[in-house]
Structure 1
Amino acid sequence: MEKLQRSMTSILNLLNIRLFRILLFLILGLVMFLSMYSNVKPEKLNLTLFSIANQTIRSPITVEDKANTARKKQEAIDQVQDVYTVKKEYTQNQVDLITSIFDSVTEVNSEMEKEFSESEDANSEVAENQNTSEIVDEKLSRVKGKLTSGVTDEVSNQTFTAMIQAHPDDLAIAQDLTVTAVNNVMSNRIPADGVENAKKRVEEELKYTSLDAGVKKAIIELGRFAVIQNEFYDPKATEDLRQQASDGVETVKILEGQIIVEEGQLISRELYQKLELAGLLDNENSVRPFVGLAMLIFIIICSLFFIFDEMGRTENRQKQLLIFSIIFITALLIMKLLSLFTEFEYSEIGYVFPAAMGPMLIKILINERLAIFQAVILGISGSILFNQGITGTLNVIVAIYIIASGLAGILYLRQQNQRAKILQAGLFVSMVNLFVIIALVLLRNSQYSGIEYGINLLIAFLSGITSAVLTIGLLPFFEAGFGVLSTMKLIELSNPNHPLLRKILTEAPGTYHHSVMVANLAESACEAIGANGLLARVGCYYHDIGKTKRPQFFIENQINIENPHDKLPPLTSKNIIIAHATDGAEMLRKNRMPKEIVDIAEQHHGTTLLKFFYHKAKQDGNEPKESDYRYPGPRAQTKEIAIIGIADSVEAAVRSMSNPTHEQIEALVKNIISDRLQDGQLNDCDITLKELDTVGESFCETLKGIFHSRIEYPEMTKQKVKQA
């Protein structure tokens, strides 16, 4: 195992170089491309026109059949008849025309009668004789003068004369009959070839009236004159209707997965064209699927690059990148192996894939964000690898199944950080798998037999269990090989039954209590600034393990005994106190504790000065070097260690105070943080001043909660004074 760890360390050192990181991304992309190459490679068939197909051929893509679409559109256009519209206003126009003719006659008669009544010969016999010839001519002339040439040219003089000579009552009846007849006939469609029939209908309506023969003949002529064509060809409406018919034709498509030719079928000219459209006969477009696959992989790799580029410290980032890559490649190879069984025409083989394995491992070993990302890219890869033997197609159903399965495992482990919960997560994933498969079957309205339902549900259940088993089996290799301190490992280390924690509890109970108090302070502060609170808590449990070598030399363990430092020289006391950091780190290393826990024990005091013994040495008349009374370090390298170091000092200082008030606690916390800053103890970690303010506020809140029962308020003090 040590040899494996050294190999991993060497690889991680190489990944610190940008060139090797880029090379790893290229390898990851190349593995993806090679694994999916055969699934996107277009199938080329050696078929000729009028040959017999030796296999059933399906379309690998969805493509428009433009020739058939154009033919169907033309058929729809040809079925559209010309559009003719009726000019309804023509009816009123012709009625108005007839009315105006009768009105003109009536007006002229009225004018002439008025003029005649005013003349000198009004009562003479000569005037009466003139009324039958000259006056009629005069009236005819005046009536024509009131009308347009279009009317006067078409209507005969006999018609006008008959109207002029008609009795006013007969003229009114003739007008009503003519207007009614024209309106009735013109209300119907009158195409160009139906005008004569319409004129005959008017004539039929007027010929059986009881009017004088001359007047009857006149109104028949007027009726025939008034009836005209009112239905005309409308090119715009016709074109619009043809366009609607064309647009209403659905595009003819050859669908992805659609059977183009059945086995043993003759390749007709139409089928040959369909094969050509589907790209099964054309080698010119064979590079397109590979370009598309390369572009998709490029997007995935770029996304992965930016995600890791935004992550934390270099060492952890490279380790996490390598873990992510190994897990993803492993999952991809399992998927590729299973996809080979699609040749046995079992389309649901993708349900066997342990889809939750990769995301659960990433969730435990790295973080939730990358776990979700892996679930998504595994789903995308699965949609290509499990394409049911149809090259270039995407199996969206399997993609949904893989993503849902992966997310289910991540969600279950979100708050479940114990190793024993992985198997429960597998059962939960199995239940989700069953639910998803049933939902997809109902969604597609698929018709499965009882046996097919049972097989699909069984393999979906096994997929979840297999995911959990593989996760449990692979997790120790990653933890040991990469030295990964996972959340589950931290939970296990926090168990009070751990041998080292029991050692502290039995040999140095005061130190154990102090460690728990520091853990409470550090965890809250770390979570307040977004650092790893669980790591801080567990690290605090072990940070003073070195004190178990000489527990009585530390004040928290000196219960009812004298302080041995009172009889020792300052330099000796200093050596004993300082040794607990190095001794603790050494003990943790011997017990194969994670590096992060060892670093906390070794660095939590940094290079701080043991002020008490330094000043004691000065008081003894010596001239000690300040460097001789400092911890060997190194200084805190992470936010968590820096916060633990401050919390350690704060807890010890507050515990030594008698009945601390809120103000005293706040002042003490600020002084300790300020002292650490001025002493340069925080220079090697990336904690900011703003974060330090947040840490100080968190310490104060936690300490107020711990020591509130010991705080005496002014009112309580006054009552005690009075009682005394």
Structure 2
Amino acid sequence: MKDFINKLYRNHSLIYKGLLFIATTIFIVYLFPKSGKFKYDFEKGKPWQSENLQAPFNFAIKKTDAEIAEEKQRIKDNTPLYFDVDFEVKNKVNTDFKNQFKNAFPDSTSVSVLSNLKNIGSKVISELYSFGVLNEAYNYSAERQIVLLDGREIAKDGVFSNLIKQDQVSKIIDKNFKDDIYGSYKPYFTALFFDIIEPNVIFDKSFTEKVTEDELATISYTRGSIDKETLIISKGEVVDDETYQILKSLQIEYESQVWSKSSYILVLIAYTLLVALALLMLLLFLMKYRINVFENNTKVTFIFFNISLIVLISTMVVNYNSKYIYVVPICILPLVFKAFFDARLGLFAHVLTVLLLGFIVPNSYEYMFLQIIAGIVTILTVSELYKRANLFISVGQITLIYIIAYFAFFVIHEGSVTDLKWETFIWFILCGLATLFVQPLIYVYEKIFGLVSDVSLLELSDTNSKLLKELSNKAPGTFHHSLNVANLAEASANEIGANAMLVRVGALYHDIGKMKNPTYFTENQSTGINPHQELSNKESARVIVDHVINGIEIARKYNLPDRVIDFIRSHHGTSVVYYFYAKEKKEFEDVKKEDFSYPGPKPFSKETSILMMCDSVEAASKSLKEPTISKIEAFVENIIDKQIEEGQFLNANITFKEIQSIKKVLKSKLANIYHLRIEYPE
């Protein structure tokens, strides 16, 4: 039992990765649609690439969205408008007319004229209330069908123009006063009618909407059907509009089938295999090419978390409304991975994530093409994320790529630009703006996962920081040495394409351990007194070697990132404090080399290797007397060749060609420092 527990403990890192792998696979599969996926890809106007397709079962042909929208609009336009009518209003108006008629005209008006005017009034009232007078103006077509309701019973039907608007009353009065004989009485007549006329027709909006909804509910979303084994399309045949709709109907029917329990389990197993395969490729990539990331459980968790998060957000957007899928800023993923790791890992993870999203999104090929191209552009354009201008420029380029690619796909599908969906361009612009959120997101990730990005490195490179200020006060010689090493290392990193910001920060902090005993290091000895004279060779070597351990302790105290501490830990590798070792060998025969060696580890990256070379060359260059170009070249060659012989760079992914480039940079920089010129023969 104890052996089993010990074995578990020794392999706890691999066990954790296995559990993380399983949990991520289950989570992503849970988000996937649980139906089968139509196995054919097709596009309108393109030849059918597969074999002859026969209907696998009976299914109905779905109407297109345009057809359904047209049918709905036709129903809305043709459904009658319902109005509530009050017939008692007409009786009331007639009564008021009779009561007020005599008082409306001058007393001198003859009886015959009054009789004729009364007849005209009765005629006008009958005409006004033939259908009714509206309570307010409505903007409907004159030919729109109407129905008048008395209670809930249909009283009369007609067209909207039959109803009288209140501003039409005067026109009807004018029409009945064409005879000039009674023209002088028209103003009295009009004044009387405007006092007594009341609306009796009110639009019943709720009832009209209910009838419209009932009519809309009767719409059939299918037109015709296809019988089983009917030939739908032959190989090589162009997919026209009708065939395209039949294929879309088959696809919808296929994916919406009610699956049996056994089929459902098979679909789940198939999805699980595909997702597991994709995630396994990512783990194998890390194991093969990014072993330092693979061995760090926090970093592996971070990668899997981000992939799961992108899949989750995309799924939620598709479930809400798939037309917003391009608003999801997928390109944040390669940006984040590039900020914390490198471009190659960022692109690899991005491509795998997009492949997984292909199971969720509509038009998966188009979506994957756009997102992979955008991811490549992201990786190629964003070089220094800590520079805000670079991020804005890159986001603009990414948005432009989206727009160009979408435009090309639309033209391929439709064959024209007349029906181009301009609103999709708005989604791309919003996606670009959302990508700018990567800056605060990186800060949040740094705090949660304890990672460090180039943005944090930029802050650490500030020589006014508390720790570097302390170094300059306690060990000014070491601080000056660190600045020189930082300049040399940055130039070397730029030459071979390494992370210049990282190596510069590592160089600034690599000797902070010397603050504990600054006078034991020659660059800080300004009084001419050497405290090593009072120590044995072993003790002196131990003080020198301990500046690495002390540096790590100080770095931990000031919460420096592990990526920076790696430079402190490895900048001397397993080299020997040669001065005291040689001195000891002169005095004693039996000398252990381990007593004068640094504990290591050896440099394990291009950046840590650069620091070792630059640190050794810069420190030793102070001992050069009357330096010349030839002396500096020989001096640089000797120091770096000795490090190669000792195997200091065996664990680093640095090539001989890159080392030669670094030598060239160091020779040039040292020559500039000493203001040397090329030696011409006399």
Unpaired segments ≥5 residues, structure 1: 1-10, 71-246, 262-273, 388-393, 719-724
Query: How many Å separate the matches in 2 of 1:544 and 1:40?
Result: 61
- Contact 1:354 / 1:463 at 8 angstroms: preserved in 2? yes
- Contact 2:384 / 2:390 at 8 angstroms: preserved in 1? no
Alpha carbons of 1:686 and 1:413: their partners in 2 closer, same or farther (altered >3 Å)? same
Alignment correspondent of 2:330: 355
For 1:308, the aligned partner's letter is L
Alignment correspondent of 1:491: 458
After the TM superposition, which residues 563-574 of structure 1 pair with which residues of structure 2 at under 5 Å, given as runs?
A: 563-565=529-531, 568-570=534-536, 573-574=540-541
Alignment correspondent of 2:602: 636
For 1:35, the aligned partner's letter is L
After the TM superposition, which residues 196-345 of structure 1 pair with which residues of structure 2 at under 5 Å, given as runs?
A: 255=243, 258=246, 293=271, 297=275, 300-301=278-279, 303-316=281-294, 318-319=296-297, 320-342=299-321
Question: What displacement does 1:629 show?
Answer: 5.6
Question: What displacement does 1:365 show?
Answer: 1.8
Alignment correspondent of 1:586: 553
Query: How many Å separate the matches in 1 of 2:379 and 2:578?
Result: 49
For 2:599, the aligned partner's letter is G
Query: How many Å separate the matches in 1 of 2:585 and 2:252?
Result: 97
Alignment correspondent of 1:540: 507
1:682 aligns with 2:621: no
Alignment correspondent of 1:555: 522
For 1:304, the aligned partner's letter is L
Alpha carbons of 1:69 and 1:339: their partners in 2 closer, same or farther (altered >3 Å)? closer
Q: Deviations over 1:57-110 (max 9, x none)?
A: 599xx999854669xxxxxxxxxxxxxxxxxxxxxxxxxxxxxxxxxxxxxxxx
1:465 aligns with 2:465: no
Alignment correspondent of 1:127: none
2:33 counterpart SS class: helix
1:371 aligns with 2:371: no
2:572 counterpart SS class: coil
Q: Deviations over 1:603-651 (max 9, x none)?
A: 32345443434555677x7899656862552332524434433432222
Query: What count of residue pairs does the alignment treat as equivalent?
Result: 496
1:410 aligns with 2:376: no
- Contact 2:573 / 2:601 at 8 angstroms: preserved in 1? yes
Which structure dedicates a bigger proportion of its chain to helix?
A: 1
- Contact 1:64 / 1:254 at 8 angstroms: preserved in 2? no
Alpha carbons of 1:634 and 1:259: their partners in 2 closer, same or farther (altered >3 Å)? closer
Alignment correspondent of 2:667: 703
For 1:56, the aligned partner's letter is Y
1:465 counterpart SS class: helix
- Contact 1:546 / 1:580 at 8 angstroms: preserved in 2? yes
Q: Deviations over 1:237-292 (max 9, x none)?
A: xxxxxxxxxx998689975654888xxxxxxxxxxxx7999687797996797687
- Contact 2:576 / 2:598 at 8 angstroms: preserved in 1? no
Question: What displacement does 1:33 show?
Answer: 2.9
Alignment correspondent of 2:120: none
After the TM superposition, which residues 30-69 of structure 1 pair with which residues of structure 2 at under 5 Å, given as runs?
A: 30-38=26-34, 40=36, 56=221, 67=231
For 2:285, the aligned partner's letter is I
Question: What displacement does 1:585 show?
Answer: 1.8
Question: What displacement does 1:312 show?
Answer: 3.1
Question: What displacement does 1:660 show?
Answer: 2.9
2:285 counterpart SS class: helix
For 1:453, the aligned partner's letter is W
Query: How many Å separate the matches in 1 of 2:350 and 2:222?
Result: 33
Question: What displacement does 1:700 show?
Answer: 4.8
1:310 counterpart SS class: helix
Query: How many Å separate the matches in 1 of 2:228 and 2:292?
Result: 51
Query: How many Å separate the matches in 1 of 2:255 and 2:560?
Result: 61
Question: What displacement does 1:661 show?
Answer: 3.7
Alpha carbons of 1:577 and 1:259: their partners in 2 closer, same or farther (altered >3 Å)? closer
Q: Deviations over 1:484-503 (max 9, x none)?
A: 33333333322334333344
Q: Deviations over 1:185-244 (max 9, x none)?
A: xxxxxxxxxxxxxxxxxxxxxxxxxxxxxxxxxxxxxxxxxxxxxxxxxxxxxxxxxxxx
Question: What displacement does 1:592 show?
Answer: 0.6
Alpha carbons of 1:405 and 1:564: their partners in 2 closer, same or farther (altered >3 Å)? same
Q: Deviations over 1:131-157 (max 9, x none)?
A: xxxxxxxxxxxxxxxxxxxxxxxxxxx
Alpha carbons of 1:290 and 1:57: their partners in 2 closer, same or farther (altered >3 Å)? farther
Alpha carbons of 1:488 and 1:58: their partners in 2 closer, same or farther (altered >3 Å)? farther
For 2:360, the aligned partner's letter is L
For 1:467, the aligned partner's letter is T
TM-score (norm 2): 0.59
For 1:707, the aligned partner's letter is A
Q: Deviations over 1:114-140 (max 9, x none)?
A: xxxxxxxxxxxxxxxxxxxxxxxxxxx
- Contact 1:311 / 1:317 at 8 angstroms: preserved in 2? no
1:660 aligns with 2:621: no
Question: What displacement does 1:56 show?
Answer: 2.7
Q: Pairwise CA RMSD of aligned residues?
A: 4.9
Q: Deviations over 1:516-540 (max 9, x none)?
A: 3333444555677776554333211
For 1:535, the aligned partner's letter is L
Alignment correspondent of 1:610: 577
- Contact 1:64 / 1:252 at 8 angstroms: preserved in 2? no
Question: What displacement does 1:40 show?
Answer: 4.3
Alpha carbons of 1:295 and 1:624: their partners in 2 closer, same or farther (altered >3 Å)? closer
Query: How many Å separate the matches in 1 of 2:295 and 2:220?
Result: 52
- Contact 2:636 / 2:667 at 8 angstroms: preserved in 1? no
Query: How many Å separate the matches in 2 of 1:299 and 1:618?
Result: 59
Alpha carbons of 1:256 and 1:68: their partners in 2 closer, same or farther (altered >3 Å)? closer
Question: What displacement does 1:423 show?
Answer: 5.9
Question: What displacement does 1:591 show?
Answer: 1.0
1:37 counterpart SS class: coil
- Contact 1:606 / 1:633 at 8 angstroms: preserved in 2? yes
Unpaired segments ≥5 residues, structure 2: 1-7, 40-55, 62-216
- Contact 1:382 / 1:402 at 8 angstroms: preserved in 2? no
After the TM superposition, which residues 121-140 of structure 1 pair with which residues of structure 2 at under 5 Å, given as runs?
A: none
- Contact 2:629 / 2:679 at 8 angstroms: preserved in 1? no
Question: What displacement does 1:32 show?
Answer: 3.3
1:682 counterpart SS class: coil
Query: How many Å separate the matches in 2 of 1:20 and 1:446?
Result: 53
Question: What displacement does 1:542 show?
Answer: 0.9
- Contact 1:417 / 1:487 at 8 angstroms: preserved in 2? yes
* Bigger Cα displacement from structure 2, 587-596 vs 400-409: 400-409
Query: How many Å separate the matches in 1 of 2:309 and 2:381?
Result: 22
**Percent of matched pairs sharing the same residue:** 22
- Contact 1:379 / 1:403 at 8 angstroms: preserved in 2? yes
1:592 counterpart SS class: coil
Alpha carbons of 1:57 and 1:502: their partners in 2 closer, same or farther (altered >3 Å)? farther
Alignment correspondent of 2:185: none
For 1:353, the aligned partner's letter is V
